[in-house]
Structure 1
């Protein structure tokens, strides 16, 4: 089980680190041919990009989370920080960007698997009456 956790952590960390870096240095555009999105998906992404701070902040957070997962530092914290991002990626793929659905399923699956693996760190978050 420990080996599966390490593999999942490294894969998820590498995905977020590489895609985060790609926002600032387009390294993947020459390697991977990304599919064209339909009009609704393109409109959604264009609307988000109008807020000029959104994607740079998101990608910096993704790089920090990826680096954390790769180095195994503050892993439980950054897994929680990544969950809304991975859930949004998955829902975007389900409703708008169907061509990217395998990546969305992989990322949300890895994140959920790791959240379950690190569940002992989250017990106090869900305590009805936390002890002080």
Structure 2
């Protein structure tokens, strides 16, 4: 039982650190990419990715908001005291990250496996704390 608690502790810290890092990255400006030559047609999946990310960034509020939520939830996971709250809030975020790669980059198997693993780890953390959550879902 003690080994499982240590594994959960390490998992929370690792997943929390990953989301803190990802959230901070949303606030670091990226250098502009060189423009593609006129007449060069981009692959369909690249056009969809640019449209989606461009739309999220174009609102001027969603991309930074997503970064703040990732940072806060990552810190909640690292804190251990509020790790369950962080894991619950991260479920839709990690699911959408997985779906992004599943539907827009299905050819990149490494990213797909990695993001699927993050989502499953998040679900495993919830499963571990299910006794604390079940009162919210099961009423008598």
TM-score w.r.t. the length of structure 2 is 0.78
Deviation at 1:63, TM superposition (A): 0.3
Q: Distance in 1 between matches of 2:50 and 2:114?
A: 18
The equivalences for 1:28-43 within 5 A come to 38-43=46-51
Q: CA deviation at 1:106?
A: 2.1
2:14 matches 1:11: yes
| Residue 101 of structure 1 pairs with residue 101 of structure 2 | no
Structure 2, unmatched stretches of 5+, are 32-44
Unaligned runs of 5+ in 1: 30-36
Q: For each residue in 1:26-48, what CA deviation from the matched residue of structure 2 results, as whole angstroms up to 9, or x when unmatched? A: 69x9xxxxxxx722122111122
Residue 58 of structure 2 corresponds to which residue in structure 1?
50
**Alignment RMSD:** 1.9
Q: Which residue of 2 aligns with 1:60?
A: 68
- Rg bigger for which structure? 2
Size of the aligned set, in residue pairs, is 121
What SS does structure 2 have at the residue aligned with 1:122? helix
TM-score (ref. length: structure 1) = 0.83
What is aligned with 1:128? 139
Which one of 105, 110, 128 corresponds to residue 121 of structure 2? 110
